Amino acid sequence: MLKDVIEVQTRDDYRLFVRFEDGTAGEVDVARYVRFEGVFAPLRDAAEFARATVNSELGTVVWPCGADLDPDVLYSTVTGAAPPKFEASTDR
Protein backbone atom coordinates (compact mmCIF):
# COMPACT_ATOMS: atom_id res chain seq x y z
CA MET A 1 0.00 0.00 0.00
CA LEU A 2 3.00 2.31 0.46
CA LYS A 3 1.95 5.90 -0.25
CA ASP A 4 4.51 8.61 0.41
CA VAL A 5 3.76 11.54 2.68
CA ILE A 6 4.40 14.79 0.80
CA GLU A 7 3.21 17.36 3.36
CA VAL A 8 2.96 17.60 7.13
CA GLN A 9 1.64 20.31 9.43
CA THR A 10 1.69 20.01 13.19
CA ARG A 11 -1.42 20.73 15.21
CA ASP A 12 -2.16 21.00 18.92
CA ASP A 13 -2.48 17.93 21.15
CA TYR A 14 0.07 15.81 19.26
CA ARG A 15 -1.87 15.84 16.01
CA LEU A 16 -0.52 16.01 12.48
CA PHE A 17 -2.17 16.97 9.23
CA VAL A 18 -0.63 14.80 6.50
CA ARG A 19 -1.04 14.77 2.73
CA PHE A 20 -0.02 11.81 0.58
CA GLU A 21 1.21 11.62 -3.00
CA ASP A 22 -2.20 10.44 -4.23
CA GLY A 23 -3.92 13.52 -2.77
CA THR A 24 -5.37 11.78 0.26
CA ALA A 25 -5.12 14.01 3.33
CA GLY A 26 -6.26 14.08 6.92
CA GLU A 27 -5.38 14.38 10.55
CA VAL A 28 -3.59 11.82 12.71
CA ASP A 29 -3.55 11.73 16.52
CA VAL A 30 0.05 10.67 17.12
CA ALA A 31 -0.58 10.09 20.85
CA ARG A 32 -2.84 7.22 19.83
CA TYR A 33 0.17 5.33 18.43
CA VAL A 34 3.18 6.61 20.36
CA ARG A 35 4.01 6.30 24.07
CA PHE A 36 6.59 9.13 23.97
CA GLU A 37 9.32 6.89 25.34
CA GLY A 38 12.73 6.04 23.90
CA VAL A 39 13.36 7.81 20.60
CA PHE A 40 9.89 9.42 20.88
CA ALA A 41 10.49 10.88 24.39
CA PRO A 42 11.64 14.31 23.13
CA LEU A 43 8.31 14.71 21.31
CA ARG A 44 6.51 15.20 24.64
CA ASP A 45 7.78 18.76 24.36
CA ALA A 46 5.35 20.63 22.08
CA ALA A 47 8.20 22.67 20.57
CA GLU A 48 10.06 19.50 19.60
CA PHE A 49 6.87 17.89 18.24
CA ALA A 50 6.36 20.99 16.09
CA ARG A 51 9.69 20.30 14.34
CA ALA A 52 8.12 17.51 12.26
CA THR A 53 9.14 17.46 8.61
CA VAL A 54 8.75 15.18 5.61
CA ASN A 55 11.74 13.08 4.61
CA SER A 56 11.22 12.67 0.87
CA GLU A 57 13.60 9.69 0.69
CA LEU A 58 11.63 7.78 3.32
CA GLY A 59 8.27 9.23 2.27
CA THR A 60 7.19 9.86 5.82
CA VAL A 61 7.17 12.19 8.81
CA VAL A 62 10.42 12.54 10.76
CA TRP A 63 11.82 14.57 13.64
CA PRO A 64 15.38 15.76 14.34
CA CYS A 65 15.58 13.39 17.34
CA GLY A 66 15.49 10.43 14.91
CA ALA A 67 11.84 9.48 15.41
CA ASP A 68 9.71 8.67 12.36
CA LEU A 69 6.29 7.21 11.64
CA ASP A 70 5.34 4.35 9.34
CA PRO A 71 3.65 5.86 6.25
CA ASP A 72 1.38 2.80 5.90
CA VAL A 73 0.02 3.33 9.41
CA LEU A 74 -0.50 7.03 8.71
CA TYR A 75 -2.30 6.26 5.44
CA SER A 76 -4.58 3.65 7.01
CA THR A 77 -5.41 6.04 9.84
CA VAL A 78 -6.38 8.82 7.43
CA THR A 79 -8.35 6.59 5.07
CA GLY A 80 -9.87 4.19 7.58
CA ALA A 81 -8.43 1.27 5.61
CA ALA A 82 -7.15 -1.78 7.44
CA PRO A 83 -3.60 -1.23 8.67
CA PRO A 84 -0.88 -3.37 7.16
CA LYS A 85 -0.37 -6.79 8.68
CA PHE A 86 3.09 -7.58 9.93
CA GLU A 87 4.24 -11.10 10.50
CA ALA A 88 6.96 -12.05 12.90
CA SER A 89 10.02 -13.46 11.23
CA THR A 90 10.89 -17.03 12.14
CA ASP A 91 14.42 -16.65 10.75
CA ARG A 92 16.89 -16.38 13.61
Segments forming the whole domain that contains residue 13: 5-79
Express each pLDDT in 8-48 by its tens digit: 999 999 999 999 999 999 999 999 999 999 999 999 999 99
Residue 87 lies in a domain: no
3-state helix, strand, coil in the chain (%, to 5): 25, 25, 50
Q: Are 20 and 37 in contact (CB under 8 A)?
A: no
Decide which of 82 and 41 is more confident: 41
pTM above 0.75, yes or no: yes
Residue 88 lies in a domain: no
- Spatial separation of the C-alpha atoms in residues 27 and 60, rounded to whole Å: 14
DSSP class of residue 76 equals H
Residue 31 lies in a domain: yes
Residue 55 lies in a domain: yes
**CATH code, domain carrying 10:** 3.30.2020.10
